[in-house]
A and B are shown apart, each in its own frame.
Chain A
């Protein structure tokens, strides 16, 4: 690299060190990051332990079930834990809002799926301090406090005119100042990446996820450094530079993300959980009541079953009619709940789409999208987990209903016990973390915004560095 740029960068470090306060702020930032990393690691470890413990206990309890009636087994339930990537230490995303354990039971798709998961894309999580938040919010704020005067002070003291008048090119001064701000933060980001890599290199898509996360953070911080130098260059007064940069920070990190999330929720509202449950129940009642002998849907269903087995009454069936009825009931309730789920997911997708359209307003939100996707804690990952869990629930319950149909004697239904071997063989496929490709549209949109975020302040700085 050009030695001029290095010399200017090194002098800028000496100046910041001499001024004490910037060095102190940098130290506070590092301390804050360390606290956030330790707290997030503890939180994640706690979370991972809970998941492991609950999964093991659930597995043990499931396997330990004695001979019993299959319908009791279907209501005994099964826990499924969301697979969590180690990058959740950096960015827990919507994990704390959406939850990580789902209880699977017959007849009902877990209504927790109707949580407004997009809450986590706004400022709902402001009180949390995570390493991702440090990069997204605090690092730019500290950068502004440390460096708002980087060029304005030189301009006011005549040093800029002196340097330019004695032959130092403006681009070299701008690049040197930028490098002086960027390199320490780049070093911190590299350190964070190496630490996470050491902890997570064996996890799924670790390198890919970490590379994308690190690249997005580097672009974001590089853009902020460019903006700080550019604003500092065209500001005539120190307080003008500080106020302009603080205004940019407030807009980019607070107002626009909050505003976009609110606008999306107003434009495409999701039903609250109770309302979604109410709509599902209403639809189910409209379909029919299996306990009502005069219900037209279930009367027709009964007729079709009798016809299929060529018998005239339920008592003559070679299989357990209650089991068949359970299968039909499960099919219907699942269809209704899945329909509700599709509506809910469609609204969330519209909210996300609406936010993505205006993402160029705020690189902070673009970074958050990429960070959440990298850590596997964004909406697409959550929805994929819910789909896997629901698929597992449906297969398991229908398996139990089939056991009920074929292994439970109809005339002594309530007192029949089925061998525990059936529970041990029940289909309980493991739930996997979805590949990163599931969030590709968010990642692409995020990177486009971050590239623009580099380009615009870069052009601005290039233009202003030609004048005093």
Chain B
């Protein structure tokens, strides 16, 4: 099966420091891959490199999204993915529906799903759809972002710390949503610190250390604070 996301020999230097070092990654449709790593390891930078939001002069390697080289046809490649940053990026003065409609209108999207259907799938209560997003909780805003990804009919979903700042209930709902995305055939790349959630929804776990991705095998029942410390120190 053709990889939805194919990264080969990706290197990035930033402020004189090697953040990514000849990194390789393949992600298929219907697969969820979580990238773990300590603070400053370069997890968010990896996502920004995929989106070419970093200074291109410092970046080498090849990135293909749905077989399209992003360096050559950025807009075409980006039309196949949806990116959700760590902070829920919604305009407070717009409602959920207006936000999704606005952001869809800005992208190079040939066709989109019905917004109401997507919001229902994302689990946002219908009575809040027309309220300004400034009145939403962080969990509700995350749902709006995921509803946008569904509406965009993206093949690939990039999530940056999706559970950050969410309570257990909201985290659980979000995890289920990621699983739903996977079941719909989307490829999902998640950058996270939340190891338990990552174990719950991921097919593969990767640890970003020294600019490279290393596979890790974790069992939820065997996780202890010490084992996590060792994992983050690269001793596993």
Name which residue of chain A comes closest to B93, CB basis: A18
Asked if A157 and B103 make an inter-chain contact with CB atoms under 8 angstroms apart, the answer reads no
* CB-CB contacts below 8 Å: A134-182 with B: 157-159, 161-169, 172
**Chain B interface (Cβ < 8 Å from any Cβ of A):** 47-48, 51, 53, 55, 74-75, 78-79, 81-94, 102-103, 105-108, 132, 145, 152, 158
- Shortest CB-to-CB span from A46 to chain B, Å, is 46
Cα separation A18 to B107 with both chains bound (whole Å): 24
Cα separation A163 to B81 with both chains bound (whole Å): 12
**Besides A157-B87, A162-B89, A163-B103, 4 other A-B contacts (C-beta < 8 A):** A159-B89, A161-B53, A166-B81, A167-B79
What bracket does the count of chain A residues touching chain B fall in? 20 to 34
Asked if A159 and B78 make an inter-chain contact with CB atoms under 8 angstroms apart, the answer reads no
Cα separation A162 to B107 with both chains bound (whole Å): 11
Asked if A15 and B93 make an inter-chain contact with CB atoms under 8 angstroms apart, the answer reads yes
Interface segment, A4-12, A199-207, A225-233? A4-12
- Shortest CB-to-CB span from B122 to chain A, Å, is 16
Cα separation A50 to B182 with both chains bound (whole Å): 83
Tell whether A468 is near chain B: CB-to-CB under 8 Å. Answer: yes
Asked if A4 and B106 make an inter-chain contact with CB atoms under 8 angstroms apart, the answer reads yes
Cα separation A453 to B209 with both chains bound (whole Å): 47
A contact residues around B107 at 8 Å (CB): 166-168
Tell whether A165 pairs with B106 under 8 Å between CB atoms, given A14-B94, A467-B55. Answer: no
A contact residues around B88 at 8 Å (CB): 158
Asked if B82 and A166 make an inter-chain contact with CB atoms under 8 angstroms apart, the answer reads yes
Asked if B85 and A165 make an inter-chain contact with CB atoms under 8 angstroms apart, the answer reads yes
Tell whether A263 is near chain B: CB-to-CB under 8 Å. Answer: no
**Chain A interface (Cβ < 8 Å from any Cβ of B):** 4, 7-8, 11, 14-15, 17-19, 157-159, 161-169, 172, 467-468
Asked if B53 and A468 make an inter-chain contact with CB atoms under 8 angstroms apart, the answer reads yes
Asked if A14 and B103 make an inter-chain contact with CB atoms under 8 angstroms apart, the answer reads no
Question: Which of A164, A169, A467: most chain B CB closer than 10 A?
Answer: A164
Tell whether A18 pairs with B152 under 8 Å between CB atoms, given A167-B107, A468-B48. Answer: no
Cα separation A19 to B86 with both chains bound (whole Å): 24
B contact residues around A8 at 8 Å (CB): 106
A contact residues around B108 at 8 Å (CB): 167
- Shortest CB-to-CB span from B153 to chain A, Å, is 13
Cα separation A271 to B92 with both chains bound (whole Å): 62
- Shortest CB-to-CB span from B88 to chain A, Å, is 7
A contact residues around B55 at 8 Å (CB): 467
Tell whether A162 pairs with B48 under 8 Å between CB atoms, given A18-B93, A168-B106, A468-B53. Answer: no
B contact residues around A19 at 8 Å (CB): 93
Asked if B103 and A162 make an inter-chain contact with CB atoms under 8 angstroms apart, the answer reads yes
- Shortest CB-to-CB span from A438 to chain B, Å, is 51
Tell whether A7 pairs with B106 under 8 Å between CB atoms, given A164-B51, A166-B152, A167-B78. Answer: yes
Asked if B75 and A167 make an inter-chain contact with CB atoms under 8 angstroms apart, the answer reads yes
Please pick, from B51, B86, B158, the residue contacting A158 in the complex, using a CB distance under 8 A.
B86
Question: Which of A11, A164, A167, A172: most chain B CB closer than 10 A?
Answer: A167
Cα separation A163 to B132 with both chains bound (whole Å): 19
Asked if A165 and B103 make an inter-chain contact with CB atoms under 8 angstroms apart, the answer reads no
B contact residues around A18 at 8 Å (CB): 92-93, 132
Cα separation A165 to B78 with both chains bound (whole Å): 7
Asked if A158 and B106 make an inter-chain contact with CB atoms under 8 angstroms apart, the answer reads no
3 shortest interchain CB distances as A-B pairs: A18-B93, A165-B83, A162-B89
